[in-house]
Structure 1
Amino acid sequence: MRMEIEDFKSLKQISMDAGQFNVIVGSNGSGKSALLEAIGVLSAAVSGEVSDATLMSRGVRVGTPALYKSSFRNQKIAKTIKFQIENDEHIRYQVHLANPLEKPKPKWTYFSEKLEADGEKVFGRSNATKYEIPLLPSFSVDAERGLLSFLQGVNQQETTFQKANAFYDFLTEYKIYTPYTTFLRGLAADPTQADPIGLNGGRLAEAVADLLTEDSFGTLDLDELFDLIDWAIDIKVAPPNKSILSSSVPSPQKTIRFTDIHMRENRAELTAYDASEGSLYILFILTLALHPDAPHIFSIDNFDQALHPRLARKLTALFSKIILEQNKTCFLTTHNPLVLDGLNLKDDRIRLFAIDRDSEGVSILRRIELNDELINEDLPLSQLWVMGRLGGVPNL
């Protein structure tokens, strides 16, 4: 899957050949989150509308055109922001989105839009206020609506439209997850609700309950889960029990309960409120990979938070394995060097990218591939990154 992004925040002009499991490293402010958000804007454009509502539902921080459009010193601000994506089925979608700086509109307009299949044009428009649908002369699409959403259900017998509809279904699922401990514990309602789990970690208990059986967690054997949460011997989801949860703590309808392997049998149970936050992050991450209702394409910003470096390494290896098995696509950002040591870069579906900003502040994205020079260093990727050999580090 190849993406091109132009004039969005610090991403003046970048391209990305993404795999299924993509890890992005870079210093603070280098453009990692902007890249995840650019995919979110593209997803909204494919869905047929780019507005605060469609962006927020995907985890994109809403902002004015003045914040979204690149505004580097001594450079003219572009009229539009541009996105292009081509999948492995040779479906290519390109869109230019416009919104005036002085008087921003609630919705971005489709300045131009084009869909190609196997190099052949399916539809296209350029700077048109309305678009007449050739096969449906009584219908027209205004400039604030995307054309691809109107193809759903049309000509399902034609291979081209089947591919286009599959592309639409896949990309419109995209969401950016940024879990926070408060929502993982169930102490507050997630401001961005989604099924099966909120973008900030809300409804984790309910999602975990969907996957948990007597001896497995989704397709994962429980023993593998307890290898990561090594202080627990049992996990279940049940209503809160006042004997183990203070009455002064906000009480969700369901809570995750852990049984501590080291404690006395009648006093070994902990709720999500008292349990290690790292354990909740593990359940959150694995739920995204394993739950059948979770998106097939998503991002996790700050993947490593609340995790010990060695645990982050082991979770990365397991998480990437499950993502490939489930045929999903994900993008992760991290500041934890040991996450890199959990990557099997010999598998081309697993890819590592470094992002830096040049002297003018423009974000530059580069794929890090194993080559003879890196292999001959005989050092783990974590050390090579910290040493500055891979890029994606601050100039300190």
Structure 2
Amino acid sequence: MITRIEALNYRCLRRVAQDLGPFHILVGPNASGKSTFLDVAALMRDFVGDGRQDIGDVISSRAPNYEDLVWNHRGQRFDIAIEVAIPENLRQHVPGGQTLFRYDLGIGRVDDKGELGIYKEHLQLMPPPSSQEREESWQQSSLTLIEMVPGGERSRRLHPILRRTGVGGSMVHFVSETLPCESFIFNLSPRTCALATLPPDDKLFPVANWFRRFLVEGVKTVALDAAALRRPSPPTARRCFVPDGSSLPWVLGDFLSTNPNGLADQWLEHVRIGLPNLRSVRIVERPEDRYRYLKITYDDGLEVPSWLVSDGTLRFLVLTLLAYLPDFTGTYLIEEPENGIHPTAVELVYESLKSVYDGQVLVATHSPAVLSLAELNQVLCFERTDKDGVRIIPGDKHRMLRDWKGEVSLGTLFAGGVLG
């Protein structure tokens, strides 16, 4: 689970640092930074990629001009960082007290010719910081993200695993987590992410390799594609959930056939609350090519294949299914899950998303109906100012909600403009 996201001068995020829990709802007006905040984790995922990704390709996928990604076009660099909780089963491999993994990236012009590259890249094990340490290190510099105060008690408990040095960040240092005497130093193009070149040795780098896999495979931007949901899925499709939903016939087929602990029956009961006329969902496999598709049966006996099912129904099936999948782990970034779904069914989607027990879900929404279901500590309120860029205010610290007693729902307050 991602426990913290930070950004400095990235797009509309001039200076943002936000702690995270397993489930959050991001609210605020248009252009208030919700999508950009979610994109920090996605950007890191894309930089690491498969090890052959040029950072220029990642940048150009977001903007044709690099300077468009720098806050207010001021300066030539931006910094991003995330912290991730180390799973319990891996903590035996790290020194005592180090329960977090922190990854920093700095992107910008790295030489006099204006070459774009990674000028800073740090990866380190760290203990949970105190709020005072957070504040001191955050205020230490306006050009870099958190760097632990040298010589402090906490800095002696840090375990750096990856660090870039040299002109333009061209020198890479790796230090083993389990055998500090084992280290690697080599030159690397600043246009290549060093973490992507980490030696795939789980004996030397058990947590770092887990983190790389988590970043590349576990951070998913859910962008359901109506066309992909409708068309039959080929036998070459992945057997796990993919962000556009195209693997749904295979994922749902396996889920319905194995019915782990009766979860399939529970899911169908959940679905019928929002779609009371639905009798069953089954998977059909075409014998000529083994392509699979959904077929829904209604109470009147009508059977409808996926290409004739409404967008809202397909989205509802997917979003309610996520919490029931036994292997649904990682961090999922979802924008406006309420789109196309009837207001009476929105609550069922919300209940499913917040119940993803082995994963993390971050949801950006404009729906008062979604917000009215949320708890105050799950809400992150976004607002934008000309001077400071985006500000993120936790719901339980929002100036308009400090004395909120629940008499008026959060959804009503949001619809009235109180929360942005």
Shift of 1:100: 8.0
Q: How does 1:1-396 map to 2 (within 5 A)?
A: 1-47=3-49, 51=54, 55=58, 61-66=61-66, 68-72=68-72, 77-88=74-85, 89-98=99-108, 109-118=117-126, 119-126=158-165, 127-131=168-172, 135=182, 139-154=186-201, 156=203, 161-173=205-217, 174-186=219-231, 196-213=240-257, 216=262, 218=264, 220-239=266-285, 253-261=291-299, 263=300, 265=301, 268-291=302-325, 294=328, 296-321=330-355, 323-324=356-357, 327-345=358-376, 351-360=378-387, 362-369=389-396, 373-391=402-420
Higher RCO structure, 1 or 2 (CA under 8 Å, sep 6+): 1
Q: 1:49 to 1:378 in 2, by over 3 A?
A: farther
Structure-2 change in CA distance of 1:239 and 1:153 (3 Å): closer
Aligned to 1:247: none
1:93-122 CA-to-partner distances (Å, cap 9, x unmatched) read 1110225899997xx622111122122333
Structure 1 residue 178 displacement after superposition = 1.5
Could you tell me how far 1:197 is from its partner in structure 2?
Answer: 4.1
List runs of 5+ in structure 1 lacking aligned partners.
242-250, 392-396
Give the count of matched residue pairs: 357
Q: Where does residue 151 of structure 2 map in the other structure?
A: none
Equivalent pair of 1:3/1:86 in contact (CA under 8 Å): yes
Distance, in Å, in 1 between the alignment partners of 2:404 and 2:346 is 23
Cα distance in 1 between the residues matched to 2:68 and 2:326: 33
Counterparts of 1:318 and 1:140, CA distance in 2: 47
**1:31 positional shift:** 1.9
What is the CA distance between 1:52 and its match in structure 2?
7.1
Note the alpha carbon deviations across 1:11-39, whole angstroms, 9 max, x for none: 11111211111211122222222222221
Whether the 8 Å contact between 1:65 and 1:99 is mirrored in structure 2 is no
Judged with a 3 Å threshold, the aligned counterparts in structure 2 of structure 1 residues 23 and 5 are, in CA distance, closer, same or farther, namely: same
SS state of the match for residue 307, structure 2? coil
In the alignment, what sits opposite 2:155?
Answer: none
More helix by percentage: 2
State the alpha-carbon separation in 1 of the partners of residues 9 and 83 from structure 2. 19
**Over aligned residue pairs, what C-alpha RMSD do you find?**
3.5
Q: Say if 1:183 and 1:200, in contact at 8 Å, map to a contact too.
A: yes
**TM superposition score normalised by structure 2:** 0.73
Aligned to 2:140: none
1:235 deviation in Å?
A: 0.6
| Alignment partners' CA distance in 2, 1:208 and 1:85 | 32
CA distance in 1: counterparts of 2:71 and 2:280, whole angstroms: 53
- Deviation digits for residues 119-177 of structure 1, max 9, x if unmatched? 233332233323355746685433233333344534626xxx43333332222221212
Taking the aligned partners of 1:281 and 1:124, their CA distance within structure 2 comes to: 43
Query: Cα distance, 1:390 vs. partner?
Result: 2.5
Query: For residues 151 and 219 of structure 1, do their structure 2 counterparts lie closer, same or farther at Cα, with a shift above 3 Å needed?
Result: farther
Deviations 1:337-373 (A, max 9, x none): 111233344xx6xx21121221358222221128984
* 2:171 partner amino acid: K
Label 1:103 to 1:9 Cα distance change in 2 as closer, same or farther (>3 A): farther
- CA distance change for structure 1 residues 194 and 166 in 2, over 3 Å: closer, same or farther? same
Equivalent residue, structure 1, for 2:88: none
Q: Would the alpha carbon gap of residues 152 and 332 (structure 1) be closer, same or farther in structure 2, given more than 3 Å must change?
A: farther
Opposite residue 153 of structure 1, the aligned amino acid is: P
- Check 1:170–1:383 CA distance in 2 against 1; reply closer, same or farther (3 A cut): same
Q: TM-score, normalised by structure 1?
A: 0.77
Could you tell me which amino acid in structure 2 is paired with residue 338 of structure 1?
A: A
Kept in 1, the 8 Å contact 2:121–2:163? The answer is yes
Change (3 A) 1:195 1:36: farther
Q: Distance in 2 between matches of 1:97 and 1:231?
A: 53
CA distance in 2, matches of 1:195, 1:65: 37
